Amino acid sequence: MRDSLTGILNEDPALEERVGGGRNPFDRAKREAGKDWPASALSMIGAKRMLQLQRAAEFVIERGVPGDFIETGVWRGGACILMRAVLAARGVTDRRVWVADSFRGLPPPDAARYPKDAGNMLCVFDQLAVSADEVRAGFARFGLLDDQVRFLEGWFRDTLPSAPIDRLAVLRLDGDLYESTMDALVALYDKVSPGGIVIVDDYGILESCRAAVTDFRRERGVTETIYRIDDSGVHWQRSAG
Ligand SMILES: C[S@@+](CC[C@H](N)C(=O)[O-])C[C@H]1O[C@@H](n2cnc3c(N)ncnc32)[C@H](O)[C@@H]1O
């Protein structure tokens, strides 16, 4: 399942086109580390972060940490599909997977409010705009589209503060920008149960994302140890305090 979602199983080439035509070929090392965007597979997070996500979902189920799972920034939906698959494999019917995205790519940078996002032009990448219907189709291909999967469509600043979520056991942030990371933390961090897992996909490679996490943790006095997953992803466990 994980290898299918990352494109390792069928050696899915890179989405990036080569100068002179054609796609960059499949590169196992890059795909393990989530360092390229797959041409057709449903997630770009790579094998290591996908395995960590599985373990985080299994951990909170095994320990009885209450709450739903969410990813903010889903692209084609592969990481959310993995979380729904864990619930199915464990026979869990009382937790939901929240799928939060604009489903039209990143917002343009608001450099006045978020100077760290100045010059970040990921918003111009059409490849990052994947519709909710395409994401639903991905879930359906795995037989995992049902009412345990809930979509939050729109900019995080509009959808997350009023999202009808009571508690979270896994909060996975993958919105790249300072704004997107901060909006998700402000709206959702207090809903993470003690013992819940917070995962930040872009901490290691995107300064904007790391700065949002650093500012939020400082402002809120969050001191739990940050553990590295790979060059990019990190996680921490929310303490009981
Ligand atoms: C790097 S991709 C996510 C990759 C995905 N987690 C995976 O498994 O492949 C970033 C996603 O975040 C979304 N996004 C970023 N900032 C957003 C915001 N402020 N509001 C809504 N969606 C946002 C984009 O639309 C895009 O789908």
- Please state, as a whole number, how many other Cβ atoms lie within 10 Å of the Cβ of residue 4: 18
> For a substitution probing ligand 1, which of 176, 188, 229 has the most ligand atoms within 8 Å of its CB?
176
Assess if residue 211 is contained within a domain.
yes
Assess if residue 172 is contained within a domain.
yes
Assess if residue 119 is contained within a domain.
yes
Assess if residue 21 is contained within a domain.
no
Mean local confidence (pLDDT), 73-84:
98
Assess if residue 19 is contained within a domain.
no
Q: Which residues constitute the domain of residue 118? A: 42-237
pLDDT in tens, 126-163: 999 999 999 999 999 999 999 999 999 999 999 999 99
Q: Which helix (H) or strand (E) holds 82?
A: helix 78-89
pLDDT at 18: 74
Assess if residue 105 is contained within a domain.
yes
> Ligand 1 centre and the CA of 61: distance in Å?
26
Q: Which domain CATH number covers 122? A: 3.40.50.150
Predicted TM-score (pTM) of this structure: 0.97
Assess if residue 150 is contained within a domain.
yes
Assess if residue 8 is contained within a domain.
no
> Ligand 1 centre and the CA of 133: distance in Å?
15
pLDDT in tens, 11-61: 999 998 777 777 889 999 999 999 999 999 999 999 999 999 999 999 999
Is 147 within 8 Å of 121 (Cβ atoms)?
no
Number of domains in the chain: 1
Q: Which two tokens stand for residue 97?
A: 């997977």
The one-character DSSP state at 150 is: E
Mean local confidence (pLDDT), 188-217:
98
Say how far apart CA 170 and CA 107 lie, in whole Å: 24
